[in-house]
Each structure stands twice: as structure tokens, then as C-alpha cells.
A and B are shown apart, each in its own frame.
Chain A
Amino acid sequence: MSRRFDHGSLVLAAFLAFAAPAAGAAELRLRHADGRAGASIPLERLDSDSEESFARANDLVAALGLPRFWRPELGKLVLKVGERRIQVTVDARLVLDGEAEVLLRVPVRYARGSVWLPLEFIERVLAPALGAGTRLDRGERVLTLGAGRSDVAGIEYERALGGGTRIKIRCVRPFQHRTRTTSPEMLRVQLENARVDPVELAADAPAPMVVSVRAEQGDRDATLYFRLAADCDGFTAMRAEDDRLIVLELIRRSPPATAGIAPARAPRMPELSAASDSFDVLVLDPGHGGRDPGVRAGGAVEKDAMLALAYALQPRLERELGVRVILAREDDDTVPAERRAEIANRARGDLALALHADADFGRQSRGFEIVHAPVPPGSDARFGTARIADFRPWRETQGDFAAQSRRFAEALQAALENRLPVPNRGVRASDLLTLRGYAMPVVSLEVGFLTNGDDVEALASPDFAAALAAGIAAAIRSDFGSLLSPAAASGSGVAP
């Protein structure tokens, strides 16, 4: 039988020839179960002899918020979906999905510096792993995300009095939560022991005064981030329905008063807006601890030395200043940096001081050094310990206090220079993990180098703690004197 190519076939062939490039430049659209549109991911055909489309792995994990680990020496990429680990290998068809194996029709590719995953991988492996109802429509190139297990059933928005916005967070059961604002633009709601679906809860401009909503799943807790519009002037928070409903009411900033009538405003939550007018709490943070020993040199272990030093400083400073001194770590425990900042914030500290010992690659380096967080451009140096009801992401919390931190660092340097038996290495700014998250001035004090014999000897002296306490107290009087009791401010000590 001979094949005949009629005119119609030629036209169809020509159409397909022109249509093919457009089809190759397609995209995969994500859609939520409730119909909301999600991200779009470009697709490409990488093989001239295959109809399969590929998506860049980086685009997929970014859109879905998945952790991923790349081992370039083995060409292996691991994606984590919840507790599930899915492993692909470049130029291989075999996918390891937990303990199961899936053989794809075409291999995973590596091109132009990226790993590319075929649609078949999304259809047969990723969609089932993401959760009930997640499915890929190949024809439409739409990935519909199912509703995964989440302790937050949904977030609703309503108009509130005075043009504000009411946010209702519906939970499947009661949760302990903390709501804090650390910058004018960010409201953070932390749910203890909760699970959320970050993809499900993410939204842009869901309501007036709410620019975006994002969710983050931690090891134990979940956090919702509400980015607020510039006209938000504060909020109130309450619980309802047996604590399963968290209600946040955003207050719209009032226009300038006219005709002598001041507009009514809802009061702010007092624990978030009250400025501190006294210095009451000093937080000492002995560095490292537990599984993290810190520096081990000079016959000393940093975590033990700093804990001992903190315990030596605590009664001296309480007596000198008449303030409460709390320790962010009281034993040989593994305490993450974020947790230490949280301890200080919950204690409503007025100042935090991290205690560390230093080390270098050589043995000549010695002396004490004070580190503060970088001061953001345009920051004002606020006087005193005013705690401001600002909104800021956790990582940037210290930004509002960095200028104060710098000023205290300089005061502490001056106070220690002639008191400590180790040289003064000065003050520097650095984005240390140990300074993040503090809603108060905070500095890190490196008391000396355990890799230098002279410093080790000085640190071991029984007079070191007393000299350091005297210097810290002098610096606090210098920088916060007006907020201390008259006796403490004058240095005459406080009667027990």
C-alpha cells in the first residue's frame, strides 16, 4: 500500500511544524484545591526524539517549598516531601521514593547548570507524595495541589470597624500561640506543636491591609507571617470558639483629625506596645553547650568555662545593679541560638550579653573583643530601652536595636579596657547567629583566646570574674543610667 500525502495533510504538517516550538515553550501551572492560582513553571523539551517535557528542579522546589539536597559528585538530587525522601540521579530513569522504586520512561537530565525532571516524575512520584488529591493534568499542564494535613483549616478575612481588617485563623484544635510584631510591616503568629501546609496557606493580597501571607513549618512549631500594608496602625488579638479560632483585628491608621474631633482608636495590646521605662532584666547567655562544646584548647572547653563565668557574674551584677539577671542556659544543654533569643525576649530583657571564648589558627592572637549586629542604614540610635511594637521578620528583629547595641558595645569596651588583664581588640559589627532575633540591645563578648597561653592564664585567674562584673556594671550605668535605681546608677550598690 502506498502512502498518499494530500493537500490537507501537508497543511496539517505545516501547522504542527509551527506549533511545535510554541508547545515546547509551555509551562506547568500550579493550582490550589480551592481554585486559587499558584506559580507557573517553564517546561522544555530537552530531547529531540522524545515528546516528554521537563521542568527545572530548582523551579519546582521553589514553587512547592520543598527542601532539596544536591550531591554534585554523584549527580544525585534528593527532595524531601514531609518525612519522605525522593532521590533521582542525573541520566538515570530509576527514582527511589522512600523504599519504593519507580522506573521512568525517560531519564532525569542535567543541562545548563540545572537538574531537569520529566513530567512523568511529577505525575507518578511527586504528585502522590504531596498529598491526597494532588494530581497532574498532562493535557492542560496543570498540577492541582490537594489539601494536605494541616492544623490550620483556613484563614478568613472580614472587614472590621473603622476600615480595618479582621483575620480569622481557624485551627482544627486549640493551640498555644504567640503573636508578635517586630516591624510595622510584619505580624508573626507562632503555633506551638502545629503542622501547616505552607503551599496551601500562601497567598498574595488576600484582603485589604494584608499584602501577603506565608507559612513556615519548623521542627516543632508552625509560623504564619502576615505582611501588612503601610496604613496598618496596630492590631488586637483574641481567641474564640474554645481557643480554636485566633482573631486578629488590624487597625487602619486614621486620617488627620478634622473639626477638632479625634477619631476613636482601639487600644493596643499592652504587652506589645508598652515602652520600658526602667532597666529590670539583664540576660547573660553562656555560649555553646551540650552537643556543641565550642572551642577546646588550652586545657579548657568553652561551653564549661562560659557557664562557670556566667554563674560567677550573676550574683555580682544583681548586687551591683539591683536588677534581675537570668541565664539563657543554666546547664550543659544544647540550646539553639533562636531559642536563646526567645528566652531573652520572653523574659522582656533590657539587655543581653553573650559570653564566648575565642580561637584562631595561630597562637599569637589574644585579647577581648565585642561584637554587635550590623546597624541598618538610616537607623536612629534610640535612647534607653524602649521596646517598640514594631513589625519585622525574626532574622531582622535586631535591626531596630542594632544602633543601641553598637553604643553599648562601645561603652563596654571603654569600661573593660583598664579592668581586664587581656588586650582590647576593639568593637566590630558582624551578622552573628548568636545576635539574631533579640528584641533588645545585645552584644557578644569574646573574653579572650583559649588558643593563647597568656589569655588562658588570665581567664583562669580568680579575679577575672570580679573585674568583668565591675566593667559590665560600669558600662550599663554609663549607657542605661537613667533607667536604673538611683543607688544602682550611682554605683553605691543595692542593699540585698
Chain B
Amino acid sequence: MLVLAVVVAIAAGSALFLAGRSRDSIQPDGRDGSTAPIAGTRSATLYFSDRDGRGLVPEERELPEPDDFEARVEGVLGALVAGPRVGDALPVLPESARLLRVFFDSDTGTLYADFDAALVRDHPGGSTAEWKTWSAMVRTLRANFSEVRRLQLLIQGEPIETLAGHFDASRPVDLDTWQ
């Protein structure tokens, strides 16, 4: 009886020890040490201006992944508007610009991105800055949303001729051919 009790005690103790080990290996934030992303988010590639102004650099970022497609697009473009977080990259839209909403026409693959007036009013102008604004949006959409084939900018719900006088904004921009 005594031997049996000892065996049971050892078995119970071992079980408790092992359980504790498995609990200890689970990080407080729910990760178990693997590289899986946090549930409900996805990795997105955003493009910003490099420091010396000659091109764009990518930044990978974890963003929430809502069920609604347009909400996902809005989240990614909203992150672009908010600006870079790593390195010494520069933003590609005016700091005051605000994305109002997006609308996706699945028939034509056209994404309508509606901004407030600050995007035009506070844009620095110049063909380089305007090219970066367009290029960053085009590349960011292309990298994250294969469904989107064209981009149409709106300002306060209305189409515009151009953002800063150098590139045509009156028609949807083809993401594959824009340069």
C-alpha cells in the first residue's frame, strides 16, 4: 500500500511538473515561441520614400485584418497615410492628409480612394513628390491586393484633374502600367 502511494505520488508530481513546464513555455501574450502571426492580423507591405529622395523603400507591418475587403484596404492605405515607423524613410503623403473612405468596384477592379482636401492643399508639389505619392499607393496596393487593378483618386468624393499638376488623376490609373 505504501509503495502504491509513493508511485501515485510520483506520478502525480510528475504530471504537475510537466504541466507547469508546458505552461511556462507559453508566453504571456499567447505565443508559444513559434513565428506564427498574432491571430486577426496580417503582414502588409507599405512603400515610403527613401531618405535621399531617389526612390521608395518597403516596410513590412502587421495590420489588423477585418473580414470586409474594403476595410482591409482602408487599413493598409490608412497606414500609408500615417507614415513610416522604421528606419529613416520619409512619408509619401502630406501629414495633414486624411483618407475618408474607399470603395471597390469589383466589376472593373477599380479602387476609389477618397481623401480630404488636405491631400491637394498641403501637397509639396513638384513632379518628384507627386510621383512618390502615386508610386507609393500603386505599389502598396499591388503588393497587398491582387484584386485591385486600377486606382481612382477622389477628393471629397469628387474626381480631380491632377494632384499637383504633373500626373493625370482624371482617369483610373492602371496599376500594372503606371510609370
Contact = CB atoms under 8 A, between A and B. Distances in A.
A69 interface: yes
A71 B165 contact: no
Nearest to B173: A431
Place the interface of chain A in its size category.
35 or more
Interface string A346-382: 0000000000111111101100010100100000000
Interface string A399-436: 00000000000000000000000000100011111100
Nearest to B126: A359
B52 A297 contact: no
B126 A449 contact: yes
B100 A73 contact: yes
A361 B129 contact: yes
Interface string B84-106: 00000011100000001111111
Nearest to A451: B124
A70 B158 CA distance: 8
A432 B53 contact: no
B31 interface: no
A38 interface: no
A70 B159 CA distance: 9
A388 B127 CA distance: 30
A114 interface: yes
A147 B34 CA distance: 71
Nearest to A303: B165
Interface in A329-359: 356-359
Contacts of A360: 49, 53, 90, 124, 126, 128-129, 132
B51 interface: yes
Contacts of A287: 165
A126 B164 CA distance: 36
Contacts of B131: 430
Interface residues of B, number: 37
A292 interface: yes
Contact of A357 (B100, B126, B157): B126
A72 interface: yes
B32 interface: no
A384 interface: no
B162 interface: yes
A188 interface: no
A451 B128 CA distance: 11
A444 B127 contact: yes
Contact of B92 (A58, A361, A365, A451): A361
B175 to A, nearest CB: 14
B111 to A, nearest CB: 11
A288 interface: yes
B179 interface: yes
Contacts of B145: none
A296 B125 contact: yes
B167 interface: yes
A489 B178 CA distance: 39
A466 interface: no
Contacts of B125: 294-297, 302, 359
A72 B108 CA distance: 16
A365 B128 contact: yes
Nearest to A430: B179
B23 interface: no
Contacts of B60: none
B103 to A, nearest CB: 4
A113 interface: yes
A446 interface: yes
Nearest to B130: A359
Contacts of B101: 72-73
Contacts of B114: 71-73
Interface in B47-63: 49, 51-54
A360 B125 CA distance: 8
Given A73-B114, A288-B165, 5 more contacts: A73-B100, A360-B132, A361-B49, A432-B127, A451-B126
